[in-house]
């Protein structure tokens, strides 16, 4: 199983996440194409920098207007294919820009990750951003992850402002750099084809931060709301280390929190933040490789159960979706008969122990339950693995399951990844079932 571990000892922001992905081997062209698909006249600039003695990758996002203002008149924009060959003068220009941006940071709501002044006459609403992303030439899973991050980000800001999410216009949510960060990160995330995300506790930093609500202690209000239920701490430096965009991306991928799991690391990437404090490497580290627990066929799960007979069924469906978004392994809704002959629904949720608290809060907040049964159980699981087949509709992942080696290691199941098939079907304008059948036929024919 292919897994990734995010080491957030210096926090996380959108540009740090992008830099780490590129540093770990994600093709830069994937990010360039994702940003270009938005038609926002945005450009990525990628360079190697030093952060506390660590060589890392820094991502800059420029929109066309700001790029024209900040670059010398004699310097034309560099195409994505020429990005790695830009001149020494351009590199020095970007460093000067970073210095100016740091000196002139504006006091606005912290939803973007780049320390540069921004002025937007009109912000974009979440509806506008959804339409923008849906209309882009991007794979369906990329769009879903990006929109999920924006919805999380917008929901937190709406809560802070105490207004409806669809009636607000956030300058920062709609800023070009925030949109480019989240969409490019989503493209990079899916390019890696990770089966399981893991993350360390998040170092939020310390000190104070200026935002539209005044001067607040770190983390900023929107970030604090996004981090509810996640393991955080404050150490080493008096600066904002987790930005709202970074927190939204973490929420969108829903990792398992804790120490690095047993894995065979294949690649490591370091994404640089803008600041370069002395003696503190301001980087996000990502480690990518294969899980080393293939022969461990038992694990512990937390089971949460509650029975309801007074809740709108539409809300039950919503709660099931939200539980999965919070990292639940499975959600079961079983019809049952309760006292006085009333029909009801038994909601059973399986999750990793580390995610039980957040899902309990979800059930109490979203349903009418007065109590939740909680227990830990052992489960026996098959050994999971992935193979990739080339079909007329593109590459499709096949998830396989096998008996443990002690029982012969026989493969018992093979299933085409639905999200891969759905994206391929949309691209080639064919039914999803055709792609599913094609992928499995090719897989099984190759095993004969």
What confidence tens digit (pLDDT) does each residue in 377-431 have?
A: 888 888 888 899 999 999 999 999 888 766 677 889 999 999 999 999 999 999 9
Q: How far is Cα 156 from Cα 243, in angstroms, rounded to an integer?
A: 13
Assess whether 375 and 391 both reside in one domain.
no
Which DSSP category does 167 fall into? G
Q: Is a pLDDT exceeding 60 seen at residue 119?
A: no
User: Considering only 21-30, 224-233, 429-438, which range has the smallest mean pLDDT?
Assistant: 224-233
Q: Is a pLDDT exceeding 80 seen at residue 72?
A: no
What tokens were used for 262? 């047993």
Assess whether 225 and 278 both reside in one domain.
yes
Assess whether 432 and 326 both reside in one domain.
no
What tokens were used for 120? 């937007």
Contact 346, 336 (CB under 8 A): yes
Q: Alpha-carbon Rg of the chain, whole angstroms?
A: 23
Assess whether 63 and 32 both reside in one domain.
yes
Assess whether 274 and 320 both reside in one domain.
no
Sign of CA dihedral 148, 154, 155, 156: positive
What confidence tens digit (pLDDT) does each residue in 94-117 have?
A: 333 333 333 333 333 333 343 333
Q: Count Cβ atoms within 10 A of the Cβ of residue 338 and give its class: 0-12 exposed, 13-18 middle, 19 or more buried.
A: middle
In this structure, the number of other CB atoms found within 10 A of the CB of residue 162 comes to 6
Q: How far is Cα 429 from Cα 251, in angstroms, rounded to an integer?
A: 32
Contact 283, 246 (CB under 8 A): no
Q: How far is Cα 95 from Cα 364, in angstroms, rounded to an integer?
A: 49
Q: How far is Cα 132 from Cα 134, in angstroms, rounded to an integer?
A: 6
Domain that holds residue 359: 298-380
Domain closes at, from 380, 405, 429:
380
Domain closes at, from 262, 291, 320:
291
Assess whether 376 and 399 both reside in one domain.
no
Q: How does residue 90 score in pLDDT terms, banded at 50, 70 and 90?
A: very low
Domain closes at, from 271, 291, 311:
291
Assess whether 87 and 112 both reside in one domain.
yes
Q: Is a pLDDT exceeding 60 seen at residue 71?
A: no
Q: How does residue 168 score in pLDDT terms, banded at 50, 70 and 90?
A: low
Assess whether 428 and 364 both reside in one domain.
no
Query: In the block, which residue shows the tokens 């991007």?
Result: 138
Of the candidates 248, 167, 247, 186, the residue with the CA atom closest to the CA atom of residue 38: 186
Find out whether the peptide bond into 219 is cis, omega within 30 degrees of 0.
yes
More confident residue, 256 or 299: 256
Assess whether 119 and 257 both reside in one domain.
yes
Spell out the residues 6+ positions from residue 167 whose beta carbon is closer than 8 angstroms to its own.
Answer: 125
CATH of the domain at 406: 3.10.20.300
Assess whether 270 and 124 both reside in one domain.
yes
Find out whether the peptide bond into 222 is cis, omega within 30 degrees of 0.
no
Assess whether 73 and 198 both reside in one domain.
yes
Indicate the number of domains in the chain.
3
Assess whether 139 and 52 both reside in one domain.
yes
Query: In the block, which residue shows the tokens 């006085």?
Result: 340
More confident residue, 362 or 159: 362
CATH of the domain at 335: 3.30.70.1380
Q: How far is Cα 358 from Cα 33, in angstroms, rounded to an integer?
A: 36
What confidence tens digit (pLDDT) does each residue in 74-89 have?
A: 333 333 334 333 333 3
Q: What is the pLDDT of residue 170?
A: 55
Query: In the block, which residue shows the tokens 């036929």?
Result: 441
Q: How far is Cα 275 from Cα 205, in angstroms, rounded to an integer?
A: 13
Q: How far is Cα 379 from Cα 180, in angstroms, rounded to an integer?
A: 41
Query: In whole numbers, what is the pLDDT of the chain averaged over residues?
Result: 83
Which DSSP category does 367 fall into? S
Q: How far is Cα 180 from Cα 40, in angstroms, rounded to an integer?
A: 9
In this structure, the number of other CB atoms found within 10 A of the CB of residue 424 comes to 25
What confidence tens digit (pLDDT) does each residue in 238-296 have?
A: 889 999 899 999 999 989 888 898 889 999 999 999 999 988 999 999 999 988 754 45
DSSP string, 233-268: E--S-SSB-B-HHHHHHHHHH-PEESSPPSEEEEEE
Of the candidates 96, 112, 93, 115, the residue with the CA atom closest to the CA atom of residue 104: 115
DSSP string, 125-139: PHHHHHHHHHTSS--
Spell out the residues 6+ positions from residue 223 whose beta carbon is closer than 8 angstroms to its own.
Answer: 110, 204, 240, 242, 243, 244, 247
């Amino acid at each position: 199983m292919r897994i990734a571990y995010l080491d957030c000892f210096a926090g996380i922001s959108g540009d740090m996440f992008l830099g780490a992905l590129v540093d770990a081997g994600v093709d830069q062209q994937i990010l360039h194409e994702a940003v270009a698909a938005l038609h926002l006249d945005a450009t990525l600039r990628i360079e190697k920098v030093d952060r506390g003695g660590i060589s890392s990758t820094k991502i800059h996002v420029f929109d066309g207007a700001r790029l024209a203002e900040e670059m010398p008149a004699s310097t034309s924009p560099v195409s994505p294919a020429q990005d790695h060959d830009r001149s020494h003068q351009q590199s020095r220009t970007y460093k000067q820009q970073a210095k100016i941006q740091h000196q002139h940071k504006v006091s606005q709501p912290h939803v973007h990750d780049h320390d540069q002044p921004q002025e937007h006459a009109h912000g974009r609403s979440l509806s506008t951003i959804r339409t923008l992303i849906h209309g882009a030439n991007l794979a369906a899973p990329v769009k879903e992850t990006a929109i999920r991050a924006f919805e999380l980000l917008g929901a937190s800001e709406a809560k802070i402002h105490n207004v409806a999410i669809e009636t607000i216009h956030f300058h920062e949510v709609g800023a070009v750099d925030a949109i480019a960060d989240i969409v490019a990160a989503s493209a990079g995330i899916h390019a890696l084809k990770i089966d399981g995300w893991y993350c360390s506790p998040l170092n939020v930093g310390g000190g104070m931060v200026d935002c539209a609500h005044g001067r607040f202690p770190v983390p900023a209000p929107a970030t604090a709301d996004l981090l509810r239920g996640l393991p955080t701490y404050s150490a080493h430096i008096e600066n904002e280390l987790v930005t709202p965009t970074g927190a939204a991306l973490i929420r969108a991928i829903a990792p398992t929190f804790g120490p690095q799991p047993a894995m065979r690391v294949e690649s490591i990437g370091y994404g640089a933040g803008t600041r370069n404090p002395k003696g503190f490497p301001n980087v996000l580290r990502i480690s990518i490789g294969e899980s080393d627990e293939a022969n461990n066929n038992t694990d512990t799960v937390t089971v949460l159960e509650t029975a309801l007979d007074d809740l709108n069924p539409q809300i039950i469906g919503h709660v099931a979706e939200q539980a999965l978004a919070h990292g639940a392994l499975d959600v079961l809704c079983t019809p049952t008969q309760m006292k006085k002959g009333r029909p009801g629904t038994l909601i059973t949720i399986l999750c990793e122990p580390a995610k039980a608290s957040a899902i309990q809060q979800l059930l109490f907040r979203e349903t009418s339950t007065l109590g939740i049964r909680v227990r830990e159980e052992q489960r026996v699981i098959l050994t999971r693995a992935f193979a990739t087949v080339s079909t007329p509709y593109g590459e499709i992942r096949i998830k396989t399951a096998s008996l443990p080696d002690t029982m012969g290691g026989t493969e018992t199941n093979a299933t085409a990844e639905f999200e891969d098939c759905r994206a391929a079907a949309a691209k080639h304008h064919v039914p999803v079932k055709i792609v599913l059948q094609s992928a499995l036929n090719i897989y099984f024919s190759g095993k004969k």
